[in-house]
Structure 1
Amino acid sequence: MTIKTILFDLDGTLLPMDQEVFIKYYFGALVKHMEPEGYEPKKLIDSIWKGTEAMVKNRSSMTNEQVFWDKMKEFYGDSVMKDLPKFEEFYKTSFQNISAVCPPDPESAPLIKQLKEQGYQLILATNPIFPAIATNSRIRWGNLNPEDFDLVTTYENSSRAKPNPEYFQEILEKLNLNPEECLVVGNDMTEDLCASKIGLPVFIRTTHLINKENRTLDSIPHGDFKELIEYLSV
């Protein structure tokens, strides 16, 4: 096996995260930040969910960013766009406090350092449903740097999202990668394992496993980061 490029998921893989807790704090902070601007809490949360759903279903030539804000316009009209600086301000301020419920994994930074030193090309293949400012923040919460990766997928630079295999195909085409020389590392048996549908090998990190469909791991390389290193050494 000649692996040259490793595509890492972020949430639950490099950055420990209880998704339900994160979402609770995320929406709580966003509502508090935007309510003074006239955004009613329930409508705002509903609109964000619908925008997220639109990004996951995106099959167009538009970026996920464009698809998201088009959906937001359906709720608020074109006037929502004048509040973009206020949303960006949220990610610079209140959003940062959510790091308290996403403590860094002490194994992640040493792993990334080791793999870089060994010459692997590293990609952060996190689901691109957040703006870069939010994604880069979460990277830093994990004691990592966005510069550690040759590509970080965000809603600005992507037009597909997990669990659509075309999300991974877009990365391959963007960087001219051979799928047989790549490895996807993630913790979600649906969102990350979908990469196997286009011929990408997948290693599932089981430390924070998400397996909503109760799929068997028997035929899938899996384990912790120590076992990942062993797998790469074979």
Structure 2
Amino acid sequence: METKAVLFDLDGTLLPMDQERFTKTYFQLLAAKLAPLGYDPAKLVDSIWAGTAAMVKNDGSCTNEEAFWRVFSQIYGEASLKDKPYIDTFYAEEFNQAKAACGFAPAAAETVDLLRTAGKTVVLATNPIFPAVATQNRIRWAGLQPESFRLYTTYENSHYCKPNLKYYEEILQNIGFQPEECLMIGNDVTEDMVTAKLGMRVFLLTDCLINQSGADLSPYPQGGFQELQAYLRELIA
């Protein structure tokens, strides 16, 4: 069946990064932003992780945004909800300093452009644990624009997280394609290659490979951007 839509992961795929270094930098910046409001850095980090866990466990009964803030406000009290606009300004502004903790791959934009020129629908299937404004900035760090994608997942527009297959099913519903018409490209074996269970084609980008379970990689087409572009040219020929 013809591949009509291509889904990309972001962190470690279109945007090269060491996840641990990025997370450390991100939390340092956020803690500095919120310190004047009285947020203790250690408790704040624990609270962000607790909110993230709630999003990962989301059963679809609410958006990920709602799941996060429900937990955050349980920890800090309902009064903490008034700080949300202040936190949003962090993701629009200071968060951009975390770009320094990421790499850059010129081939990322080239690859997306290759597919768009071929008339393919391109989706950014990044784990939706960030607000839209943060995701838009991370897209720009990768040398792309939010408009490059038919859809990019954020905590506002998603009800599940990776590796829950319902996260991908929600994307398919939104873009109107069957799994067999789609290709998923990502660097995380657990979170991205799981789409093969739905019937999607997959490609494992190995530049920033994550394989925490030590899974056998031999079933997956794989390689760096050079191998990916060769695979895509053959696919769209």
Unaligned runs of 5+ in 1: none
Q: Give, in angstroms, the shift of residue 103 of structure 1.
A: 2.9
Q: Report the equivalent of 1:225.
A: 225
1:99-114 alignment to 2 at 5 Å? 99-114=99-114
Q: Give, in angstroms, the shift of residue 167 of structure 1.
A: 0.6
CA offsets 1:92-144 (integer angstroms, 9 cap, x no match): 22111111111321111111111111111100000000000000100000110
Counterpart check, 1:159 vs 2:159: yes
CA offsets 1:61-92 (integer angstroms, 9 cap, x no match): 20000000001011011111100111011112
Q: Report the equivalent of 1:21.
A: 21
Summarize the Cα distance change of 1:156–1:211 in structure 2 as closer, same or farther, 3 Å threshold.
same
CA distance, structure 2, for counterparts of residue 71 and residue 172 of structure 1:
28
Unaligned runs of 5+ in 2: none
Q: Report the equivalent of 2:210.
A: 210
Aligned-pair Cα RMSD in Å = 1.1
Letter of the 1:16 partner, please give it: P
CA distance, structure 2, for counterparts of residue 60 and residue 189 of structure 1:
23
1:90-105 alignment to 2 at 5 Å? 90-105=90-105
Q: Give, in angstroms, the shift of residue 2 of structure 1.
A: 1.5
SS at match of 2:189: coil
Q: Report the equivalent of 1:80.
A: 80
1:23-102 alignment to 2 at 5 Å? 23-102=23-102
Q: Report the equivalent of 1:190.
A: 190
Q: Give, in angstroms, the shift of residue 229 of structure 1.
A: 2.7
Count of matched residue pairs? 234
CA distance, structure 1, for counterparts of residue 97 and residue 156 of structure 2:
23
Q: Report the equivalent of 2:129.
A: 129
CA offsets 1:168-215 (integer angstroms, 9 cap, x no match): 011111222111110000000001012122222211001111011111
SS at match of 2:122: strand
